[in-house]
Chain A
Amino acid sequence: MIEFINATKIWENGAKGLQDFSLTIERGEFVFVVGSSGSGKTSLVRLLLKEIELTSGRIYVDEYDLGRIKRRHLPYYRRKMGVVFQDFRLLQNKTVYENVAFAMKIVEATPREIRRAVPQVLNLVGLSKKAKAYPNQLSGGEKQRTALARAIVNRPPLLVADEPTGNLDPDTAWEIMTLLEDINDLGTTIVMATHAHDIVDAMQKRVIALSDGQLVRDAEGGYIDEYPDYEVRGR
């Protein structure tokens, strides 16, 4: 589903985002991307979103070659994935229901489809009772659940989450993780960049560890159990 081939991203100031990074993620996987600040996690996410360009190498997501994707095709590529950010990025002037419905309007879903799908997905994330609330009336966890609902309402095959629990207390963070696991069980591939050691350790999924833009570990299991050197740098 996702393939990085010798992907390199060098920023204009010379900083290295990714260096000769190669990786394959299969459909239906749940993958954590870990590493300290500046390790390249965010570069990886932004490259997947096609928010930034590669310096060299290739990235494929399904049939899309991200280096060759035309600007006018970009929205259609982005519709193939749901995105969740640490800062939620909800439309402040729209209710929970409208924020989720907005993602469907963009793909020109019929009003009937919207009326059917939005309550379902709000029910899935446990926000049925908050449908009419505006983002400023929600707790952090509720905001992130709204963002999750928006990300999955069009049933994308891929969900990219950038520090989705970063702004949440531990209990709420676990609620979100449970939801992500449920979504993954439904067949959605999940790529999640995170700092949360406890979550990574507990979930026992595939972990991609980055340091200075390079892949330093790719294994099932906890955060840093096999790389004590990395542990020192990462923490």
Chain B
Amino acid sequence: MKPRTIRHYIKEAFRSLIVNRLMSFASILTVACCIFIVSLFYLLAANIEFFLSQLEDNLSIMVFIDEELPAAQMTPLHDRILALPQVRNTEFIHRDDALEDLIISMPGGIAGFDSLRYNNPLRHSFIIELRDLRYHDEVLAVLAEMPEIANIGDFSEAADIMTNVRDIVQVASLILILILALISIILIMNTIRITVSTRQVEIGIMKYVGATDWFIRWPFVIEGLLIGFFGGVIPAALCRFGYERVVEAIAGISWLNFIEFMPGEDIFMYVIPLAVGLGILIGLIGSLVSVRRYLKV
């Protein structure tokens, strides 16, 4: 392809965008609206998941060690638990520290509990953080087999609920995003098809004059790409700037400020390329499919 032919394609694409500005605007708006909705939903789903994972981090298994276990055995036991592939971290809590924490947390202060310091009834313990709540039951089974462990602080019910909620959120958001993306593609293809069909006569003339299919197609493809690009950039920018405002606004509401949001940089690292990429892809597919119909002259 000669450079002047490429220049011709690009010039034609921009020219067509401007000459058919009403249709171009409608197409860009359709792409932008659809991608905006998809992006919003993605932001929502990602934040729900983020919030749940924050909650999950607070759920850990607590095991109490048999009093008879010699102090020298404590580190090997710690290492064995930490070596489990499902375990992310293990923290040893000395029985004295545990007592101190308990005393401090009592509403009445230390009075009355002071004597316990000489006769600590608590056991040493480990706080075990899991890589994923799904492993809860497996890890419990392994821990139950360890003779050094006297007792296990169980939170099966909470873990089950959390896992279920997260599964539902994940599946529902995936399905909804897919449906929204599909609706967007259909809407956008229709809009682009209308744009192309208004130029059916033009395409026919080009064919009679001896234009190759690709000579006709390229300007449309570039036009579709531009429409998709603008249609992706607009919602990406809106979401980027809107996100911080919404997060600030919610943080200002006292009864909602327990909600933790994903940091903007983390989430938009994916959302911006995704929105723009999706826009370009939809624009490309839409224009290619739509032009195809009219090339058979």
Q: Is the CB of A89 within 8 A of B208?
A: yes
Q: Are B19 and A78 in contact (CB under 8 A)?
A: no
Most buried by A among B15, B19, B205, B210: B210
Counting CB contacts under 8 A, is B177 at the interface? no
Check if A102 is an interface residue, CB within 8 A of chain B. yes
Bound-state CA distance A78–B205 (Å) is 12
What are the residues of chain B within 8 A of A89 when measuring CB–CB? 201, 204-205, 208
Comparing A1-9, A61-69, A106-114, A178-186, the segment that makes contact with chain B is: A106-114
Query: Which residues of chain B are near A78, meaning CB under 8 Å?
Result: 207-210
Complex CA gap A145/B212 in Å reads 25
A105 x B208 contact (CB < 8 A)? no
* Chain A hits for B207, CB < 8 A: 75, 78
Chain A residues, CB < 8 A from B213: 72, 75
- A13 in the interface, Cβ–Cβ < 8 Å? no
Contact A108 B2, CB 8 Å, known A89-B201, A89-B204, A93-B19: yes
| Interfacial chain B residues near A76, Cβ < 8 Å | 210
Give the residues in chain B near A118, CB-CB below 8 Å: none
The answer for the CA separation of A96 and B96 in the assembled complex, in Å, is 95
Query: With contacts defined as CB atoms under 8 Å apart, how many contacts are there between chain A and chain B in the complex?
Result: 49
* B202-220 interface bits toward A, Cβ cutoff 8 Å, 1 = contact, 0 = none: 1011111111110100000
Asked if A75 contacts B201 (CB within 8 A), the reply is no
B293 part of interface (Cβ distance < 8 Å): no
Q: CB distance A49 to B208 under 8 Å?
A: yes
Does any Cβ of B come within 8 Å of A51's Cβ? Answer: yes
- Interface flag for B4 (CB, 8 Å): yes
- Contact flag A103-B5 (CB < 8 Å), given A51-B297, A89-B204: no
| Chain A 52-86 per-residue mask, 1 if CB under 8 angstroms from chain B, else 0 | 00000000000000000000100110110001000
Neighbour of B208 across the interface among A83, A92, A107, CB < 8 A: A83
Contact B8 A91 (CB under 8 A): no
Chain B residues lying within 8 Å of A90, measured Cβ to Cβ, are: 205
Asked if A195 lies at the interface with its beta carbon under 8 angstroms from chain B, I say no
**Interface contact A106-B205, CB-CB below 8 Å:** no
Please list 26 pairs of residues, one from A and one from B, whose beta carbons are closer than 8 Å in the complex, sorted by A's number.
A49-B208, A72-B213, A75-B210, A75-B211, A75-B213, A76-B210, A78-B209, A78-B210, A79-B209, A79-B210, A83-B208, A83-B209, A89-B201, A90-B205, A91-B202, A92-B202, A93-B15, A93-B19, A102-B206, A102-B209, A103-B209, A106-B210, A106-B211, A108-B5, A110-B4, A111-B4
Q: Which residues of B contact A (CB under 8 A)?
A: 2, 4-5, 8, 15, 19, 201-202, 204-213, 215, 297
